[in-house]
Amino acid sequence: DEDEDEGAAKDAGAGLGANVKVDGMASPGGELVTISSIHYRFWSLERVLQLYMCLIDTVPKSQPRIVALLDEATAVSSATHLAILGAVLTTLDPKNMDFKSTVDYGDWMESMSASQTHIDS
């Protein structure tokens, strides 16, 4: 099950940068037109995208919502950051967890601990 979550997170991350928009870097139709514009777009958002991918890796159940939020976003902004943090925190909320055994609680604690650094960033 963990391998499936990991694979889904990697698949989702493959197209994240393609949907992120930076003003002035695209043609009027919204398509990137030069290698330098693709390069600039990625590097200007590299840290943010890296944090999003780390959150997906540490909280795999948040992946569908994070990808949906990025697909809906017209630009990466504070609103996008807050929405993604909200999605991760909602996923981690103990009220939303379906603990069937003490092992599930341990897995939740591990996700909480691993994601804390990325949330603080």
The per-residue pLDDT for range 50-89, each reduced to its tens digit, is 899 999 999 998 999 999 998 888 888 889 999 999 999 9
Give the separation between CA 93 and CA 42, rounded to whole angstroms: 32
What pTM does this model have?
0.61
Rounded-to-integer distance, Cα 75 and Cα 71, Å: 10
List alpha helices for the chain, DSSP H.
2-13, 16-19, 35-58, 63-72, 78-92, 102-120
Rounded CA separation 87/81 (Å): 10
Q: Note the pLDDT tens digit of each residue in 16-50.
A: 544 445 444 455 555 667 888 788 877 888 888 88
Phi and psi at 28, nearest 5°, equal -55, -30
Query: What torsion, rounded to 10 degrees, do the Cα atoms 74, 78, 83, 85 define?
Result: 140
pLDDT band at 107 (very low <50, low <70, confident <90, very high): confident
